[in-house]
Amino acid sequence: MSVTELQFQAAAVGDAPVAAIQGRSQWQLTWRRLRSDKVAIASVGVIILMIAFALAAPLIAAITGHPVDQAYPTTGQNSFGNPVGPGVHGFLLGTDQIGRDLLVRIAYGARISLFVGLLTTALATIAGVTLGLVAGYFGGVVDAILARFFDAALAFPFIILALALASVFRPSLTIVIGVISFFSWAGISRIVRGQTLSLKEKEYIEAAKSLGAGPMRIMFIDILPNLLGPVLVLATLYIPTAVTFEATLSFLGIGIPEPAPSWGNILSEAQQFYQVAWWYIVFPALALLITTLAFNLLGDGIRDAIDPRTERIFAGSKATRKRGRRKRGQLSLDQAILVGQQDGQVTDLPITNAGGDVTS
C-alpha cells in the first residue's frame, strides 16, 4: 500500500500484459483518493516532521549542547531570575523558569506525547475492536454483559478517576497510559459492535459458516476487514484526543511527573510565567496545537477517502471543491445566492431548478 508498490503495479501493467490481473484493493483506492487530498498529505508531512522532531530529541540536545534536565542559572535566566527569550545565549526558543532549554524540553515532551498518543490508541483500538467484535458477533448474554461494560466505561468521570488514581498511586507514565486507554476503548467497541451486528447477517458470513469456519475465523477474517475503514478513522481521531488527555493530566499534575518533560507539564509550569515569558507558554502550546490539528485533519481526510460520499466544508482537493459546487447547484435559489455570495462567484452559479420568480 505504498507509493512504490503502486508505481510498481502500474509499471507491471504497462510492461508485461501477461502478468495476472490484480484488482485494486479498497486500501489502494483509498490511498489514491487520499493522495489527491492536499490537506491530508500536508497533515501527514506535519506528523512525520513531528515524529522526526521527537526522535531527534537527543540529537537536538547534543547540537545545542543543552541536556534536557540541565538548568543554566547564569545564561538561561536574566538578572531577575526570569526565563530568557528566544535567541538569547543560544536558547533558540528561550528557557524555562530555572533556565532549561525550552526547545530541548519540547522535543523530549514530543516523545512522551506521541508515545502516549500512539500507544494508548493502539491499546484502546485492539481492546475496543476485540470486545466489540465479540459482543456483536456472539450477541445474547455475552453482548448484554459487555454492553454494560461499555456503558460503565463511558459513564466514568474521567478527571475524577484520574485524580483518585493519582492520589492512590504515584503519578507515572504507566498510570497515564492506563487511564487514557481505559477511557478510549469503549467508544471504539460500541462502533465496532454496531457494525458487527449488521455485518454478521450478511450472506457471506452464512457462506463462511456453511463452509465450517469457526467464530474466530469469521470475526477476524470475514468481518474485521469490513470494519477496518471506520476503525482506522476512529483511531486516527483518537490519537489527538489521547495527546490532549495526556497534556490535561500532566497539566493538572497527575500525569507525567517532573522532571521528565511533557507538553502538559511544561504548560502547567508556564502558566505562572506567561506575563514575563510569552515563549514559555506559546511554543509548547503551538506544538500541541499543530500535532492535534494534523491528526484531526488526517482523520478527516482518511474518512473522506474511505467513503467518498461524505461532504466536507473545508477541503483541499479540486475534486471536492467541484463536487461541492455541483451540489450547491441543487440548492434552493435563496440558499444558492447565499452560498454564491460567500464564494464571491454569483455569476457562474448553475441555477437549474429555481422554482420561484427571479426578480432580485
Footprint (CB under 8 A) of another protein, residues 22-61: 22-26
State which of residues 209, 312, 323, 325 lies at the interface with another protein (CB under 8 A). Answer: 209
Q: Which stretch binds another protein (CB under 8 A): 135-143, 214-222, 257-265, 286-294?
A: 214-222
User: For residues 88 and 208, which CB has a smaller minimum distance to another protein in the complex?
Assistant: 208
State which of residues 1, 3, 16, 21 lies at the interface with another protein (CB under 8 A). Answer: 21
User: For residues 206 and 311, which CB has a smaller minimum distance to another protein in the complex?
Assistant: 206
Q: Which one-letter amino acid corresponds to residue 100?
A: R
Residue 77 CB, shortest distance to another protein, in Å, is: 60
Would you call 126 helix, strand, or coil by DSSP? Answer: helix
Residue 183 CB, shortest distance to another protein, in Å, is: 26
217 binds another protein (CB under 8 A): yes
Say how far apart CA 198 and CA 189 lie, in whole Å: 14
204 binds another protein (CB under 8 A): yes
Residue 215 CB, shortest distance to another protein, in Å, is: 9
| DSSP secondary structure letters along 38-71 | HHHHHHHHHHHHHHHHHHTHHHHHHHHT--TT--
212 binds another protein (CB under 8 A): yes
Residue 228 CB, shortest distance to another protein, in Å, is: 8
Residue 213 CB, shortest distance to another protein, in Å, is: 5
Residue 351 CB, shortest distance to another protein, in Å, is: 37
65: left (phi over 0), alpha (psi -120 to 50) or beta: left
Short-list 119, 339, 61, 332, CA closest to 235: 119
Q: Which stretch binds another protein (CB under 8 A): 106-114, 129-137, 199-207, 240-248?
A: 199-207
Question: In this structure, what DSSP letter does residue 219 have?
Answer: I
Q: Which stretch binds another protein (CB under 8 A): 183-191, 201-209, 242-250, 282-290?
A: 201-209
Say how far apart CA 148 and CA 123 lie, in whole Å: 20
Say how far apart CA 284 and CA 263 lie, in whole Å: 6
208 binds another protein (CB under 8 A): yes
The grid coordinates of residue 87 equal 535567541
Residue 7 CB, shortest distance to another protein, in Å, is: 18
Q: Which one-letter amino acid corresponds to residue 9?
A: Q
Q: Which stretches does DSSP call E strand in 33-155?
A: none
Say how far apart CA 9 and CA 11 lie, in whole Å: 5
Short-list 74, 111, 110, 107, CA closest to 93: 107
Q: Which stretch binds another protein (CB under 8 A): 197-205, 271-279, 293-301, 345-353?
A: 197-205
344 binds another protein (CB under 8 A): no
The grid coordinates of residue 37 equal 487530498
Where would I find the H helices in 56-95?
57-64
User: For residues 140 and 355, which CB has a smaller minimum distance to another protein in the complex?
Assistant: 140
Torsion sign, CA atoms 51, 52, 55, 60: negative
282 binds another protein (CB under 8 A): no
Residue 21 CB partners (closer than 8 Å, separation 6+): none
Residue 82 CB partners (closer than 8 Å, separation 6+): 97, 273, 276, 277
State which of residues 225, 308, 329, 350 lies at the interface with another protein (CB under 8 A). Answer: 225
User: For residues 62 and 207, which CB has a smaller minimum distance to another protein in the complex?
Assistant: 207
Footprint (CB under 8 A) of another protein, residues 134-153: 144
214 binds another protein (CB under 8 A): yes
Residue 40 CB, shortest distance to another protein, in Å, is: 22
Main-chain dihedrals φ then ψ at residue 252, nearest 5 degrees: -80, 0
Q: Which residues bind another protein (CB under 8 A)?
A: 20-26, 144, 202-204, 206-214, 217, 222, 225-226
